[in-house]
Amino acid sequence: MSQQDNTLLIDVGSTYFKVSNQDSIEQYFRDFNKDILDDLLHRCGDTIQSFDKDDVYICSSANGGLNTLIIGVSNTYSLKYATNIAFNSGINIIDTILYQNIEEYSVPSDLVDVVIIVGGIDSCTGMFTDNLYSYLAKLSYSNIVFVGSEQDAPIIKEKISNLVILPNVIDNKLHIVEDYLKEYLTNLYQQDIEGKEDIKNLYDITANRIYPTPYIVNKALPEIDARYSVVNPFILLDIGGATTDIHYSKDLVDENIVTKNEFDRLVFKKLGVFKSKQSLIFTAKNNEFVYELLMHLKVTENIFNEQSQKATKILMQLAIFLVLCKISHYKKAYINLKLLTINSFVLTGGITKVLTKEEIENIIAFFYKKILTSGHRPVVVLDSNYDIWTLGLKGD
Amino acid sequence: MKVVTGVVGNDIHVVANRLIDLSLRARGFEVFNLGVNTYLEEFFDAAVETGAEILLISSLNGEAEGWGREVKLLKAKYKDLDNLIMMIGGNLVVGSGSAEDIVPKYKNYGFDLVCHQVDLNTGLDSLEEFIQQRNKK
């Protein structure tokens, strides 16, 4: 454990708690029949009570985060830029609509936490028509923000009540402008976390602000060298119970997005080993290489029906493989990383407690051989003591 | 008028791209230069985001021949680009070929103006002439 001073750090995930003080780091499986605070106090009440509220720092990725819908006029600019900013603001759940086809999209039945409308550089006008207002009239949402052409802003403001207008995310050279939307979304996420009853109760044990976990992890990455010998460029995989988060060096993308951050974040919302287990299995069954992978791991698909430590291990190995497929040229997705130039794979989260370094290396080698037909072997680094999370939380 | 320009495909001829940019600006166009190594979708998306009236694609190493075939299909997916003036120029084949063969081929791909191995100023003159003719209509 790397912590030197007398603080208690707590991470509340969708599946586990992690509690860290200067002597130890502990992980507890959550009891979903209990309120988060009650569960925490039941498991490690004595430890928590021994710390002053000022010395307890909490971050959380529980309860899903904000549900976001982005309506933009092009895939390459408005939708891509807004999606990039949303991921880097810690948002997990993002759906997008290409505006020109808006009539073809179904309207989500669930309440959308935030709708982002984006499109056009500032000298453009008339990017949106009545189709937008008709769609929004059928949609339930809590917040709505416009980050497109400044000339369109007053026109749209007239038609949509409660519309927040922020500076355009696309400048006149078609470059991304992140700061305003990022700040808005981060604050909204923050309010959302603090507004959740379960999380609100945690202020009984801390006097400090509760941050979203992805925000904390992303903040630690520039300092990662302080803990590990990680060679750039690297990716960090956080395979959790509900989602899989990837944080990656910007050197790994050849994109038209030029930002100030050294690292970007990407989330696969239905690839987790606990809450999203069934969707992970579904994705696995639809991947043509998975049966070969199962053979390689010396198991059959019956493992999907098992409830055992071995089954969890296999699911985690599958999650690594599927995530790598999703960010490779094999599956054209939101982003394709230059996987042959990666020097290090850093893994954090519950996976580090379940898989060994060798087991992870085995999967990565299988992926490079089968999908990229390469013998490339990046170095695997396990953040078994949650040093990255500790670094981010302490650094704040 | 707004022009989106850039070099298509895996082509890094940045000097030509810069000269096109400067020449267009000198003639009073508002230029959105996407630079080298640009994919077709990026060109069309930039036209949507900027409200450009002209798309000027350049190609120096013959890459355009492969990409050109996709133009009609891709452009058809965009609902508001029917009036976009489509121009392509540079060295439009791998190896050698005559303009008599190449120009009709690219027009068939969906380009209004095709300049194969034509001097830059001559090419831009033809663009301005095309715009004038279109405005008269």
Other CB atoms within 10 A of residue A173 CB: 9
Four-residue CA torsion sign, A352, A357, A359, A362: positive
What pLDDT score does A2 carry?
Answer: 42
> Would you list which residues of chain A are within 8 Å, Cβ to Cβ, of chain B?
73-78, 100, 119-121, 123-125, 170, 173-174, 254, 256
Give the span between the Cα atoms of A119 and A229, in whole angstroms. 42
Across the interface, whether the CB atoms of A174 and B49 are under 8 A apart is answered yes
pLDDT of A220 reads: 84
- Does position A291 have pLDDT exceeding 80, yes or no? yes
Which of A284-288, B2-6, B69-73 is modeled with the greatest confidence?
B2-6
pLDDT of residue A256: 58
CA distance A90 to A185: 8
Is A111 or A191 the better-scoring residue by pLDDT? A111
Measured torsion, CA atoms of residues A316, A318, A320, A322, in degrees rounded to the nearest 10 = -140
Render pLDDT for B65-86 as a digit per residue (tens, 0 to 9): 888 889 999 999 999 899 999 9
Nearest to B44 by CA among B77, B11, B88: B77
Residues 10-39 on B with a CB inside 8 Å of A are 32, 34, 37
- State the smallest CA–CA distance between residue B108 and chain A in angstroms: 26
Question: Does the CB of B100 have a partner CB in chain A at under 8 Å?
Answer: no
Q: What is the pLDDT of residues A207-240, one digit of tens each?
A: 988 887 887 888 888 888 777 777 788 899 888 7
* Cβ atoms of A207 and A213 closer than 8 Å: no
* Reported pTM: 0.79
Q: How far is A331 from chain B (nearest CA, A)?
A: 18
Check whether A387 has a pLDDT greater than 70: yes
pLDDT tens, residue by residue, B35-47: 988 999 999 999 9
Contact A75 B45 (CB under 8 A): yes
Pick from A95-104, A196-205, A362-371, B117-126: least confident: A196-205
CA–CA distance from A395 to each of A19, A221, B15, B36, B57 (Å)?
Answer: 17, 11, 46, 40, 48
Q: Which residue has the higher pLDDT, B46 or A193?
A: B46
Name which residue leads in pLDDT, A303 or A228: A303
Report the C-alpha gap between B113 and A146 in whole angstroms: 38
Tell me the average pLDDT of chain A: 86
Cα(A350)–Cα(A13) distance, integer angstroms: 10
- Beta bridge partners of residue A58, listed in sequence order: A10
User: How does DSSP classify residue B38?
Assistant: B
Catalytic residue among B13, B45, B80, B125, which?
Answer: B13
| Confidence bin at A395 (pLDDT 50/70/90) | low
User: pLDDT category, A351, cuts 50, 70, 90?
Assistant: confident
H/E/C letters for each residue in chain A? CCCCCCCEEEEECCCEEEEECCCCEEEEECCCCCCHHHHHHHHHHHHHHCCCHHHEEEEECCCCCCEEEEEECCHHHHHHHHHHHHHHCCCCEEEEEEHHHHHHCCCCCCCEEEEEEECCCCCCCCCCCHHHHHHHHHCCEEEEEECCCCCCHHHHHHHCCCEEECCCCECCCCCECCHHHHHHHHHHHHHHHHHCHHHHHHHHCCCCCCEEHHHHHHHHHHHHHHCCCCCCCEEEEEECCCCEEEEEEHHHCCCCCCCCCCEEEEEECCCCCCCCHHHHHHHHHCCCCHHHHHHHCCCCHHHHHCCCHHHHHHHHHHHHHHHHHHCCCCCCCCCCCCHHHCCEEEEECCHHHHCCHHHHHHHHHHHHHHCCCCCCCCEEEECCCCHHHHHHHHHC
**In percent, how much of chain A has pLDDT > 70?**
93
3-state secondary structure of B105: helix
Residue B99, min C-alpha distance to chain A (Å): 33
Whether pLDDT at A58 is above 80: yes
Q: Which of A266, A237, A232 is nearest to A249 (CA)?
A: A232
> Maximum Cα–Cα distance for chain B, whole Å?
39
Taking the Cβ of residue B45 and every Cβ of chain A, the question of whether any pair is shorter than 8 Å is answered with yes
**Three-state secondary structure readout of A215-283:** HHHHHHHHHHHHCCCCCCCEEEEEECCCCEEEEEEHHHCCCCCCCCCCEEEEEECCCCCCCCHHHHHHH
- Give the model confidence (pLDDT) of A5-25 as tens digits: 688 889 888 777 888 887 777
Report the SS3 class of residue B20.
helix
**Mean pLDDT value across residues A43-63:** 86
The domain locations on chain B are 2-136
Distance CA A247, CA A267 (A): 9
**H-helix or E-strand spanning residue B92:** none
Judging contacts by C-beta atoms under 8 Å, the chain A residues touching residue B81 are none
B11 is catalytic: yes
Given a cut of 80, whether residue A295 has pLDDT beyond it is: yes
Q: Of the given ranges (A3-17, A61-75, A234-248), which has the lowest mean pLDDT?
A: A3-17
What pLDDT sits at residue A168?
98
* Two tokens, residue B32: 């959105």
User: Which residue from A290, A321, A197, A246 is spatially nearest to A92, judged by alpha carbons?
Assistant: A246
Of B42, B48, B50, the CB nearest to A256: B42
d(CA A30, CA A39): 7
- The reported pLDDT for the residue numbered A14 is 74
Please compute the mean of the pLDDT values over residues B6-32 and round it to a whole number.
92
Q: At A3, is the pLDDT very low, low, confident or very high (cuts 50, 70, 90)? A: very low
The amino acid present at B24, given as its one-letter code, is L
The pLDDT of residue A171 = 95
Q: What is the mean pLDDT of residues A360-364?
A: 94
Rounded to whole angstroms, how far apart are CA atoms A18 and A25?
Answer: 7
> How confident is the model over A136-160, as pLDDT tens digits?
999 999 999 999 999 999 999 999 9
Instruction: Using pLDDT thresholds of 50, 70 and 90, give the confidence band for residue A332.
Output: low
Quick check: A359 pLDDT over 60? yes
Instruction: Specify the range with the lowest mean pLDDT, choosing from A88-97, A176-185, A353-362.
Output: A88-97
User: Hey, what are A331's tokens?
Assistant: 């599956």
User: Looking up tokens 């507004």, which residue turns up?
Assistant: A195
Catalytic annotation present for B82:
no
Query: Quick one: tokens of A78?
Result: 């408005």
Q: In Å, how far is A160's CA from the nearest CA of chain B?
A: 22
pLDDT band at A1 (very low <50, low <70, confident <90, very high): very low
Are the Cβ atoms of B48 and A74 closer than 8 angstroms? Answer: yes
Report d(CA B67, CA A382) in Å as an integer: 44
Look at the block and give the residue holding tokens 């990383």.
Answer: A337
pLDDT digits (tens, 9 = 90+) for B105-130: 999 999 999 999 999 999 999 999 99
How confident is the model at residue A4, as a pLDDT?
45
What is the CATH code of the structural domain delimited by B2-136? 3.40.50.280
